[in-house]
Structure 1
Amino acid sequence: MSLPLPFFKTKFEDKHIVDQKFYTAKHDEENRDILLFANEVHEKPNNSGPAKTVTTTMPFLVSTPPPREPGPAKGKNKRGGKEKVLSKEEEQRLLFESASYRLNGNRLFNTSYYLAALDAYLLALSRCPQTLKLERATIYHNIAATQIKLRSYDEAAKAASRALNLRPGWGKALYRRAKAREGMGGWAGLVGAYDDYVQVLEGAVDGVVEGVGKGELEAVKEKIRWLPDRIKTVREKEVGGVVEGMGGLRA
């Protein structure tokens, strides 16, 4: 028996059309992936309080979650009024839906279907409760990685910054933002990239940064070496362009 997962539609070029079978995995494998995801994100402490644990009995893993609209998380709405607090069952149901979309996004990303992967990650974000900061940080990081592949560097930098707001100092998100800022170019972008690369390296423990490969870490060291010269060159070019423009106005 296969596990029916939330399915989404997206419009993109014919070469990106994926058979719906791609979204369906064997029941045991998919349940294991989602349960591991749920346990992983709840075992780590977040900024809102101590670590929480997920019960191993998750009955909704064996069927598609009921198509109900999510209740708002605890906090204030746009009008300043108090919002309904999610029950534990509702939070777990939304976490399951979010994890399902995110796992689909990972598969699409790993097979270079970046537009479809972005859609999946955005759906995952829309289902993830606001109170689950680590989960939302992970999704924002996935969005940043996808936007980099699509060369939407400005959007990638914004997504990585949102991940860092939820999980400050996270080396993996810092690395993504550094790559996005480097891709943006310009003096400001390169300075920001350099600062992020330095923070990535400073966060290494025994030469290891969580989520950043050994080869990527070596590349970070190289970028820290040569980026200052590039920043200087770009700065001089930008200043020169401004001066020339002012000269043209005076003429």
Structure 2
Amino acid sequence: MTGEDYPSDDDKSFVSAKSSHDPKPETRFSAEEEASLLAESNKLKTEANSLFAHGSFEEAVQTYDRALSSCPNYLEYEIAVLHSNIAACHIKSEQWKEAIDSATKSIDALERIDPLPKPKTSQDATKAKLQPQSAVEEIDDETAEKIEALEKSGRTRDDVQKIRVKAFLRRAKARSETGGWAALQGAYEDYTFLATVPNLSPLDKRTVQKSMTDIGPKLEDAKSKEMAEMMGKLKGLGNSILKPFGLSTNNFQFVKDEKSGGYSMNFNQNA
């Protein structure tokens, strides 16, 4: 199986450094307690991976949930891995909404460790053009602290990126299978992000490219269908309001002005 559809079997133990998402200091476990809880969580995760490999997806989800319960809730990387694996189980069971939810939780947990760069504003773009290009990535102090904490935990940004790619692939897959304008648009956005990820594996690149090509026509069809349904509902509402007056929406015709592109409304008593 590929990394896209098989849960990550990443069982390295670590003790997380403090992050901005940590609970209050008094709720954190001692190093010994944390290590014990994490060992139990990793043991359950290994059992769940085995259940997944044997096609027992429902039992695997239940075991991953137990692993989540054992894992300290401030160990964001481990939490992200477990949610991503749960998403993989839901995809195998064609439980698309549950898969979207689990993959999103994984993405959110990773975002708290190593946030994705925020989209640049037009002002930022102008400033970038005026300044010399730098080969070094610019990061703010808060992000630098989170990256330092990640490295102290025994993980790297590459580890985060690998799980992030899996979670995005799984969410995009589930969204595309859910169908509907909003879900397909979300899937397209996920694949668009993945297309920008450096060092994406050849298999994942092909998956992303093919999926984006396939979604395009489906997205337009879903948009047209849902817009037609919405207009139909609005027309029905309008007719219910106009009926007591002996009128209907057919009495009102919208005419497009080819020069301005705007519309004018004409009233036709005999329509």
Q: Same fold (TM over 0.5)?
A: yes
Deviations 1:76-96 (A, max 9, x none): 4xxxxx743311111011011
Verify the 8 A CA contact 2:51 2:57 in the aligned structure 1.
yes
Deviations 1:10-47 (A, max 9, x none): xxxxxxxxxxxxxxxxxxxxxxxx9x7124xx39x888
Aligned residue number for residue 166 of structure 1: 109
C-alpha displacement at 1:204, in angstroms?
A: 3.0
Aligned residue number for residue 104 of structure 1: 47
Q: What secondary structure sits across from 2:11 in the alignment?
A: helix
Q: Which amino acid aligns with 2:63?
A: A
**In the superposition, relative to structure 1, how do residues 91 and 46 fare at CA in structure 2: closer, same or farther (>3 Å)?**
closer
* Backbone CA RMSD of aligned residues: 2.5
C-alpha distance in 2, partners of 1:74/1:234?
41
C-alpha displacement at 1:217, in angstroms?
A: 3.0
Match of 1:225 among 213, 227, 244: 213
Aligned residue number for residue 65 of structure 2: 122
With structure 1 as the length reference, what TM-score do the two structures score? 0.65
Q: Verify: 1:75 aligned to 2:18, yes or no.
A: no
Q: Verify: 1:186 aligned to 2:160, yes or no.
A: no
C-alpha distance in 2, partners of 1:174/1:46?
25
Q: Verify: 1:48 aligned to 2:19, yes or no.
A: yes
Aligned residue number for residue 38 of structure 1: 12
Q: Which amino acid aligns with 1:172?
A: K
Verify the 8 A CA contact 2:64 2:86 in the aligned structure 1.
yes
With structure 2 as the length reference, what TM-score do the two structures score? 0.60
C-alpha distance in 1, partners of 2:65/2:98?
13
C-alpha displacement at 1:129, in angstroms?
A: 0.4
**In the superposition, relative to structure 1, how do residues 163 and 74 fare at CA in structure 2: closer, same or farther (>3 Å)?**
closer
Verify the 8 A CA contact 2:77 2:109 in the aligned structure 1.
yes
Q: What secondary structure sits across from 2:167 in the alignment?
A: helix
More relative contact order, 1 or 2 (CA 8 Å, 6+ apart): 2
Deviations 1:151-177 (A, max 9, x none): 221121111111111113521111111
**In the superposition, relative to structure 1, how do residues 171 and 244 fare at CA in structure 2: closer, same or farther (>3 Å)?**
same
C-alpha distance in 2, partners of 1:146/1:199?
23
Q: Which amino acid aligns with 2:193?
A: Q
Verify the 8 A CA contact 1:140 1:159 in the aligned structure 2.
yes
Query: Percent same amino acid among aligned pairs?
Result: 31
C-alpha distance in 1, partners of 2:105/2:233?
36
Deviations 1:170-198 (A, max 9, x none): 21111111111112210000010011011
Gaps of 5+ in 2: 1-8, 117-163, 241-271
C-alpha distance in 1, partners of 2:194/2:210?
13
Superposed counterparts of 1:55-70, under 5 Å: none
Q: What secondary structure sits across from 2:182 in the alignment?
A: helix
The total of aligned residue pairs comes to 180
Q: Which amino acid aligns with 2:36?
A: R
C-alpha distance in 2, partners of 1:222/1:106?
28
C-alpha distance in 1, partners of 2:17/2:213?
34
C-alpha displacement at 1:115, in angstroms?
A: 0.6
